[in-house]
Chain A
């Protein structure tokens, strides 16, 4: 008896995670929380790439896994740079709430 997981399961999970991550990005005001939500979205794309690789790829060609590998590496670089930026922003402004940092534009009138 061969057990198997339908690819729809992976894709539905991935879509739900992506939208939830997007919800987080749109609602949060804390920069670290926004970065965390972006990580959720990246993981959602990774899951869907793995599923499509299982769907299309055969045992000898695994481009999907290479993409996932590169995405994970770039996510590490992105997290390092982003967190360094948060530290220097915190040092200059005293907080990392993104809606309160507006030194490059006029003050909010409302």
Chain B
């Protein structure tokens, strides 16, 4: 089936175009703050591709942790520091002179990876390895999610996922929690500022001396 006959493929292509536009803006836009909010929009687009790959629950994780949590951290860090804006020179010739090596790396790597991936996925050995089916992600797999007449498949998938996570990866989750707690405490320790009493205003100084005396 050609891609323009399939609404899911059209949705995916539109999402991909949206992600690539947002990504272009993230890298090239002038101010760091603008870059950050384009990043938030890009993360929401990535969440939509997760939804298209059958996963409602990873969609929720992506939006709440990435677009909600990490974005707020980035915004705080951007607003609390100073930046020299404008990542790239204005004119094209200066831009090429400044970044020709990175551009070559980018182009060679991108073309190479895409060609390699498409080549590998089309090989018959690989398809046999993948279970004999056609290499499709949504709809043609065993449980359709948003196909017509079958919305209940999503409940089954989410339940399977949570049970799988609990049964097979149960011990990992406390370690992840421990890691996040350590990151929280470490970042608080790093970000907190130790001040001298001479820096304060007279009122604050008097207040602190009074509280220490009591």
Which residues of A come within 8 Å of B, CB atoms? 2-13, 15-24, 26-30, 32-33, 35-37, 39-40, 43, 46-47, 50-51, 53-56, 58-62, 65-66, 68-70, 72-81, 83-88, 90-91, 94-97
Contact B87 A30 (CB under 8 A): yes
- Chain B residues bordering chain A, tally (CB within 8 A): 95
Q: Shortest distance in angstroms between A9's beta carbon and chain B's nearest beta carbon?
A: 6
CA distance A84 to B16 in the complex (A): 32
**Which chain B residues lie closer than 8 Å to A74 at the CB level?**
176, 179
Closest residue of B by beta carbon distance from A10: B137
**Which chain A residues lie closer than 8 Å to B156 at the CB level?**
59
Contact A5 B113 (CB under 8 A): no
A-B contact pairs, 29 of them (CB 8 A): A3-B9, A4-B9, A4-B134, A4-B140, A5-B139, A6-B136, A7-B137, A12-B114, A15-B110, A17-B19, A17-B20, A26-B106, A32-B78, A40-B42, A43-B43, A50-B53, A51-B53, A55-B135, A59-B156, A62-B161, A65-B57, A66-B172, A68-B50, A72-B62, A72-B65, A76-B69, A77-B180, A78-B183, A90-B81
Which residues of B come within 8 Å of A, CB atoms? 6-9, 12-13, 16, 19-20, 23-24, 26-27, 32, 35-36, 39, 42-43, 46, 49-50, 52-55, 57-58, 61-62, 65-66, 69-70, 73-74, 76-78, 80-84, 87-88, 98-99, 102-103, 105-106, 109-110, 113-114, 117-118, 121, 130-131, 134-144, 147, 156-157, 160-161, 164-165, 168-169, 172, 176, 179-180, 182-184, 186-191, 193
Contact B114 A15 (CB under 8 A): yes
Contact B117 A30 (CB under 8 A): no
Given contacts A9-B16, A13-B49, A80-B183, A75 and B117 within 8 Å (CB-CB): no
CA distance A28 to B28 in the complex (A): 10
CA distance A11 to B65 in the complex (A): 23
- Which residue in A12, A55, A83 is a CB contact (below 8 Å) of B118? A12
Contact A88 B144 (CB under 8 A): no
Contact B141 A54 (CB under 8 A): yes
**Which chain B residues lie closer than 8 Å to A22 at the CB level?**
105-106, 109
Contact A10 B58 (CB under 8 A): no
